[in-house]
Amino acid sequence: MIKSALPAIIALFVPIALAWFGLSRILGAHPYWEVQTIAIGAPIGLAAAFGMFFAGLNRKVTAITSIALLLGSMAGATYGKAVFVASYADDRFAGQLWYFGWIAVGTFTAATIFALLHRR
């Protein structure tokens, strides 16, 4: 029981711990939202990874999909930050893209970790 739950526990808490220690701020998250966005996204990513696992998707397909979506969400969050800062905090859509992009980063980080660690 514990052995099968260990990948889920690691996938949930590692992204949150990394954000807590400042990695997401270094990568471009807003200092006020750095832990909050990852803490929102990580459980969603774990649920998505469980869904892909129970749907019978191959572990390799799940990992590649999660990594691709992680890279896309990082690109979206970075773009949102750049446009938001360039607009002197006037572009609301760019701010939301930055915020929700970091939630997606937390989501797909947890899904990637789970896909890489979980064995059938």
- The domain ranges of the chain are 2-117
- The pLDDT-based confidence of 4 (bands split at 50, 70, 90) is confident
Q: Residue 88: what are its φ and ψ, rounded to 5°?
A: 55, 45
Entry pTM: 0.94
Q: What is the pLDDT of residue 119?
A: 81
**Segment 91-98 mean pLDDT:** 97
Pick the closest to residue 97 from 22, 30, 23 (CA basis).
Answer: 30
CB 110, CB 47: distance < 8 Å: no
CB 106, CB 37: distance < 8 Å: yes
Q: What is the pLDDT of residue 1?
A: 56
Say if residue 6's pLDDT is above 90: yes
Say if residue 120's pLDDT is above 90: no
Pick the closest to residue 109 from 73, 56, 60 (CA basis).
Answer: 73
